[in-house]
Amino acid sequence: MTESTYRIQGATGEWEVVIGLEVHAQITTESKLFSGAATAFGAEPNTQVSLIDAAMPGMLPVPNMECIRQAVRTGMAIEAQINKWSRFDRKNYFYADLPQGYQISQLYHPLVGEGQIEVILDEKDPNSPRKTIGVERIHVEQDAGKLMHDQHPTMSYVDLNRSGVALMEIVSRPDMRSPAEAGAYLSKLRTILRYVGSCDGNMDQGSMRADVNVSVRRPGEELGTRTETKNVNSVRFVMQAIEHEANRQVDVLEAGGKIVQETRLFDPDSGSTRSMRSKENAHDYRYFPDPDLLPLELDDAFLEECRASLPELPGAKLKRYEEELGLSAYNAAVLTAEAETARWFEELLSEGAKAQKKSEADVAKASANWLMSELFGALNRIGRHLDDSPVTPAQGAELLALVADGTISGTIAKQVFEIMLETGDAAGKIVEEKGLKQTSDTGAIEAVISKILADNGDKVEQYKGGKEALFGFFVGQTMKAMQGKANPQIVNELLKKALA
Amino acid sequence: MTNLTDLTVAEIRDGVAGGDFSAREVASAFNVAVADARALNAYIVETPDHALAAADQADADRASGTLKPLSGVPLGMKDLFATQGVQTSAASKMLEGFKPEYESTVSGKLWDAGAGMLGKLNLDQFAMGSSNESSYFGSVISPWKGADGAQLTPGGSSGGSSAALAARLCPGATGTDTGGSIRQPAAYTGTAGIKPTYGRCSRWGVVAFASSLDQPGAMARTVKDNAILLEAMAGFDAKDATSLDLPVPNWEAALSGDLKGKKVGIPKEYRPDGLNTEIAALWDKGVAWLKDAGAEVVEVSLPHTKYALATYYIIAPAEASSNLARYDGVRYGLRNLPDGAGLQDMYAATRAEGFGDEVKRRILIGTYVLSAGFYDAYYTQAGKVRTLIQQDFMKAFEQCDVLLTPTAPSAAFPLGGNNADPLEMYLNDVFTVPASLAGLPAMSVPGGLSADGLPLGLQIIGRPLDEQGVLNAALALEERAGFTARAEKWW
């Protein structure tokens, strides 16, 4: 564990920043936490609302076990304590986006207890400091609806589509000491959630948002009073919010003021935070166990299924890529940063090993290099993502196999790939139709070489006179005459023989 | 031929099946009786067409040999159960005019069993009360009258149900019981009612008062009718997370008033100093009747009984304060939006206008006991005491099969008689609340009349899931009490 040395230089000296994050992650499920209503994003207002979500009289919540399962799997992915006995509580407050007048949450007995996440502050740097951030708990709770203030001059409209959607609240320990650490934690958490499949991590759609707790203190001294900045919805904004809020607190303290414990809002346009509600005006939520729900008791079979269904997680995967596939730390980090990238890469490996009748380790380096340089470059150019790549892993593997077995050269492979991107055709078909096959026909190559040497008698003389650099010229001429399809190794051998 | 409205549920069911009369004749007779008894204010909404449609279906089913368990039986539905397309008000201004698009599980099961609905029965507002005086639609007036001719309460909260049964405005009715709301009204009106084990009947579609205590149950004039109705109402419902996933026993078929080999416990703490002598005398009679039925009678102790009422009046209001938060004027029901008002003003105006005094009182108590700084002293403590009360019962049931107690500390009191002091009113629940806190099945049956000629009830409390034991002991009482008194018609 490496301690961060991030400090704010105040007029009166150095200040240390202490950060904790409460991340709300929408659980990926077809239906809501306590009702059968759908959860798809972007539906017409109030089209995904059950009688329960609208809190009609006499309606009752029934837990959706798929939501519980996903939260348990998430807990397992961060090596957290899974509580086999947990309970739902009601958090009572009045607001127009909260039809029941309470949110069903878990205060006293959360589903998931202590866990941890290891973050690498700079993934491109193999020697980057690593740090373990503690996770205090994960509990599940209902989301609220949404108010729309721009539909009517004097009224606000309510959209209850989101009302009752399942959230995980993932509460970190106040273990982060810099905006960069908080950013790395949030990114890593997002990666884990996407690997596990418990949250899509789409921060721009609100599927993941963070409440940022910030305080400042003199290094080594007691914790300062914290503020909570609500609903920050990107990694960059979280880092900005921390930076702004920490500096604001330093300014207040250095001017002799006191930090007020309060809830603040982040304004993405100015990158600053502003006060929303002070502690004196804080709600008394009157939490108590929800009497409509029995305690949640999980049996071993359920937990076993959750564990068995966990995918290989990013940390383990990165290690395996380095140790078993022999990839560089950087390549392994890039390929494991997103579940989708790793999935694509592993399919490419598996298809490649099949096509070349080799082990996955044997094809790993070439596959990684091609994916990271050729494919990523091309996707970037045409503005697409891996999940809608015009070239499939099987097609990529076929292309790489053609290079590996000498059917085409690396140069020709680049041309073939361009055609694949445009047409979606298979590499073999393109090579066949365009006649791009590399030739190893020594007779044909020898015929070309004799002609070139005959046409360039002067240069042959110079070469034989000691100007060996001219060898490259003869190779180039030969390849040109053969339209790039000659096997370069054979060209080399035959040229050397002919010039001897 | 007897008056059709005097028949029991069983007699109507069997008479329709046997062709003694048509279901339409029965429904029509009750429709007339209901329309003729508006002075009692037992029904908030009358639904004669619903009753007739079900009756016609029953008559058709008889012709085609496809009769159902309750074919031809018209019922009264407590207006706490959501009924599709029919006002479901919980006797509140807040929900006046609210017509749900859904049917509660329990009412749906009754209609599926062939029953019809005569109307929605009056109750204490949001089922909060013991006298039916907190209804926004006015008090229900008991068909029974005091010796001085005073108008009496039919009990509460299921006072519309008990009054309608006693006045022969329905042969059976639904009730809900949170702290005694089925048993106490039954006792006050000479009728019978059972609250089953918590979780037997689905709460889905029942306007919530206190979720951990609310339990739908049956009300009728005989024990057998209670068994018949409860069989149709009970059963697992996946839509209620507290519903019991157990088969419904055939309670009617297993009814037996022979208690040989059974032990009946008499909890000594239910006989406080100053217990009404008539109640004490009736209780003694009950003991003798159960002995006569073959039971052995033993004294048992429920030491935490004295804390039950206080515990109940913390837990029930706490849950109510949260359950009733949804009535905010935003989506349905009453909305009071003063000129230029904001959201908070709308909440305040709507809730001030839509809730009656008793409802507000309980919301305030509940909000208080859940507040920061008071939660542990009240709510947490009440939860612990509730566990102790449950353990008291479990210990007692090691010595006996059922418990016999009075249902209420007195006969029905005059309307307005207890209104000055809410605490006096709460004392009506003293014998019924403990079984509610423990989630136990419990039933009230008529035992006799007071010196003033008013009905008095006896309560049987049973082990969890032992509705059969409760019904059988109640049957033994019923067979020996020979209760035939009825209120003279004055309405």
What does the pLDDT average to over A403-413? 86
* Per-residue model confidence (pLDDT) at position A1: 39
Cβ atoms A264, A252 nearer than 8 A = no
How far apart CA A203 and CA A223 sit, in angstroms, is: 30
ipTM of the complex model = 0.96
Over residues A138-193, the pLDDT tens digits come to 999 999 999 998 889 888 899 999 999 999 999 999 999 999 999 999 999 999 99
What value does the mean pLDDT of chain B take?
Answer: 96
What 3-state class would DSSP assign to A147?
A: strand
Cβ atoms B122, B74 nearer than 8 A = no
CA-closest candidate to residue B362, choices B125, B203, B78, B79: B125
CATH code for the domain in which residue B6 is found: 3.90.1300.10
CA-closest candidate to residue A146, choices A170, A169, A163, A126: A163
Q: Do A288 and B318 touch (CB under 8 A)?
A: yes
CA-closest candidate to residue B328, choices A92, A143, A142: A92
How far apart CA A420 and CA A477 sit, in angstroms, is: 28
Rounded to a whole number of angstroms, the distance between the first and last alpha carbons of chain A is 63
Q: Which residues of A touch B (CB under 8 A)?
A: 51, 54-63, 90, 92, 94-96, 99-102, 156, 158, 284, 286-288, 290-294
Give the catalytic positions of B in this structure.
78, 157, 181
Over residues B98-150, the pLDDT tens digits come to 999 999 999 999 999 999 999 999 999 999 999 999 999 999 999 999 989 99
Contacts of B238 in chain A (CB under 8 A): 62
Q: Do A291 and B211 touch (CB under 8 A)?
A: yes
* Per-residue model confidence (pLDDT) at position A406: 83
* Per-residue model confidence (pLDDT) at position B384: 98
Q: Do A100 and B326 touch (CB under 8 A)?
A: yes
What does the pLDDT average to over B86-108? 98
Give the number of A-B residue pairs with CB atoms closer than 8 Å.
Answer: 99
% residues pLDDT > 90 (chain A) = 72
* Per-residue model confidence (pLDDT) at position B353: 98
Mutation site, A35, A59, A154, A290, interface B, largest B CB count within 10 A: A59
Q: Using CB atoms, pick whichever of A62, A101, A290 lies closest to residue B325.
A: A101
Over residues B175-213, the pLDDT tens digits come to 999 999 999 999 999 999 999 999 999 999 999 999 999
* Per-residue model confidence (pLDDT) at position A123: 66
How far apart CA B366 and CA B382 sit, in angstroms, is: 12
Q: Assess whether pLDDT exceeds 90 at residue B280.
A: yes
Question: How many CB atoms lie under 10 A from the CB of residue A134?
Answer: 15
What does the pLDDT average to over A293-298? 97
What phi and psi values does residue A282 have, to the nearest 5 degrees? -65, 150
With tokens 């202490």, the residue in question is A18
Two tokens, residue B389: 């009360």
Over residues B372-384, the pLDDT tens digits come to 999 999 999 999 9
Q: Using CB atoms, pick whichever of B95, B204, B372 lies closest to residue A284.
A: B372
User: Domain extents for chain A?
Assistant: 8-306, 312-434, 442-499
Q: Do B239 and A62 touch (CB under 8 A)?
A: yes
CA-closest candidate to residue B188, choices B142, B150, B151, B147: B142
Q: Which residues of B touch A (CB under 8 A)?
A: 81-82, 88, 90, 95, 98, 100-102, 104, 203-208, 210-212, 238-242, 318-319, 321-322, 324-326, 328, 330-332, 343-344, 347, 367, 370-372, 375, 379
Preceding amide of B162 cis, omega within 30:
no
**R_g (Cα) of chain B, nearest Å:** 21
Q: How confident is the model at residue A2 (pLDDT cuts 50, 70, 90)?
A: very low
* Per-residue model confidence (pLDDT) at position B172: 98
What 3-state class would DSSP assign to B254?
A: coil
Strand residue runs (E) in B68-130: 74-78, 116-121
* Per-residue model confidence (pLDDT) at position A280: 66
Q: Using CB atoms, pick whichever of B102, B210, B344 lies closest to residue A51.
A: B102
How far apart CA A233 and CA A266 sit, in angstroms, is: 10
Strand residue runs (E) in B155-308: 172-177, 192-195, 215-220, 263-267, 296-300
Q: Do A60 and B95 touch (CB under 8 A)?
A: no
CA-closest candidate to residue A146, choices A255, A234, A265, A231: A231
Q: Assess whether pLDDT exceeds 90 at residue A427.
A: yes
% residues pLDDT > 70 (chain B) = 100
Q: How far is B189 from chain A (nearest CA, A)?
A: 28
Contacts of B372 in chain A (CB under 8 A): 284, 286
How far apart CA B381 and CA A379 sit, in angstroms, is: 64
With tokens 């707790």, the residue in question is A213
Q: How far is B262 from chain A (nearest CA, A)?
A: 33
How far apart CA A208 and CA B463 sit, in angstroms, is: 49
Q: How far is B38 from chain A (nearest CA, A)?
A: 27
Q: Do B98 and A57 touch (CB under 8 A)?
A: yes
Mutation site, B326, B378, B380, interface A, largest A CB count within 10 A: B326
Fold of the A442-499 domain:
Arc Repressor Mutant, subunit A (1.10.10)
Identity of the amino acid at A165: V
Report the domain count for chain B: 1
Which positions ≥6 away from A350 have C-beta within 8 Å? A360, A393
Higher pLDDT, A37 or A394: A394
CA-closest candidate to residue A104, choices A96, A92, A86: A92
Q: Assess whether pLDDT exceeds 80 at residue A430.
A: yes
Domain that holds residue B225: 1-491
Over residues B17-49, the pLDDT tens digits come to 999 999 999 999 999 999 999 999 999 999 999
Q: Which residues pair with B188 in a beta bridge?
A: none
| Tally of residues, chain B | 491
Over residues A193-252, the pLDDT tens digits come to 999 999 999 998 889 999 999 999 999 899 999 999 999 999 999 999 999 999 999 999
Contacts 24+ apart (CB under 8 A), B334-340: B334/B93, B334/B94, B334/B95, B334/B96
What does the pLDDT average to over A457-462? 89
Identity of the amino acid at B425: M
Q: Using CB atoms, pick whichever of B241, B326, B347 lies closest to residue A60.
A: B241
Contacts of A90 in chain B (CB under 8 A): 322
CA-closest candidate to residue B286, choices B98, B111, B458, B45: B458
Contacts of A99 in chain B (CB under 8 A): 326, 330-331
Q: How far is A88 from chain B (nearest CA, A)?
A: 12
Q: Do A61 and B367 touch (CB under 8 A)?
A: no
Q: Do B326 and A284 touch (CB under 8 A)?
A: no
Q: Do B82 and A57 touch (CB under 8 A)?
A: yes
Q: Assess whether pLDDT exceeds 70 at residue B1.
A: no
Q: Which residues pair with B448 in a beta bridge?
A: B456
Q: Using CB atoms, pick whichever of A90, A287, A292 lies closest to residue B241.
A: A292
> What's the Cα-to-Cα distance from A413 to each of A117, A344, A346, A484, rounded to whole Å?
41, 20, 21, 11
Identity of the amino acid at A120: I
How far apart CA A279 and CA B324 sit, in angstroms, is: 27
